[in-house]
Amino acid sequence: MSEKRYQISPIELVQWAEPRFSKEKKPAAGLSEALLSSYETAAGIRLPDALRDYLLACGEASLNYTLHTLYPPEKDPKTFNCHMAFTYDYIKSDMDWFMEHGEEDYEELAKLRALPVERWGEVTDNYLIFWAENQGCWLAGIRKADLDQPNPVVYYNDDDDMYSWAPFADSVQSFLLSIGLENLAEGRGVHSITDTAEIQNILDRGGVDFQRLREPYPFPGGRFAHTCLDTETDTLYVYGEEAEGRPAYLKVIRA
């Protein structure tokens, strides 16, 4: 009887996938406590528990860079290029560049330049950026004011700038799960099965309990993607609920 693990966590997903799908076929590696602590001290923050735990367990895994890309922390919190940083620091850098080159501020930058930093929240919140879409279409971040929460909402810059942000996922864990599943499916010829009868037949053949597969995750925002990992056959079943403009689907990923 094969062992089934339902609703695996983002960490469990990467720990299963990394030694099977990465080029090196090595176990997932994490970032060091020393690096995270150094970054937190320099930035004057503590990372949310859900993100911190993930980085310690899986921060160096290649799955984080297969498609959409992790922005890991550096010791210097103002290291912008593909590293974790705050949007206010990006904006301040823009201000310096425009002044240095004698360029006229664009509208949003002019609004902020007219205010002390303490009042920038009247125009836009400050976000900690930690992930990016593979073509740079969006960045994902956490409001600085929410960093004291263990598993806060994740936002994205919906107008492709540093000023306009909208909710992306209801929690860090739901974000990491959805990104991890998307990165895992990338380039592996995984397709979505949408025929209801075919979905049921595949699950029956694999001995997957459809009712258990559809149970929600224990964290906010995890109800739209559901997983069952068959550890004997090394098969991951991913079920997506019906959503606006999209039917329910099943994806099967085999090692």
Q: Token digits for 47?
A: 């990372």
Predicted pLDDT of residue 2: 63
Q: How far apart are CA 162 and CA 71, in angstroms?
A: 16
| pLDDT mean for each 10 residues of the chain (255 residues) | 88 97 95 97 97 98 96 89 94 94 94 96 97 94 98 96 96 96 90 96 98 92 88 96 91 95
> Do 107 and 207 have their domain in common?
no
> Do 160 and 220 have their domain in common?
no
Q: Is residue 122 part of a domain?
A: yes
**CA proximity to 217, closest of 207, 226, 208:** 226
In degrees and rounded to multiples of 5, residue 243 shows phi and psi of: -135, 170
Q: Please tell me whether residue 203 adopts helix, strand or coil conformation.
A: helix
β-strand pairing of 69-70 with 127-132:
antiparallel
> Do 67 and 156 have their domain in common?
yes
Number of domains in the chain: 2
CB–CB of 168/220 below 8 Å?
no
Q: How far apart are CA 96 and CA 205, in angstroms?
A: 62
> Do 203 and 161 have their domain in common?
no
Predicted pLDDT of residue 76: 87
Specify the pTM.
0.94
Q: Is residue 25 part of a domain?
A: no
User: Under 8 Å CB-to-CB from 242, ≥6 apart: which residues?
Assistant: 248
The domain containing residue 246 runs over which residues?
Answer: 4-9+188-254
Q: How far apart are CA 239 and CA 133, in angstroms?
A: 23
CA dihedral 133, 138, 140, 141 (to 10 degrees): 150
> Do 243 and 143 have their domain in common?
no
Predicted pLDDT of residue 244: 85
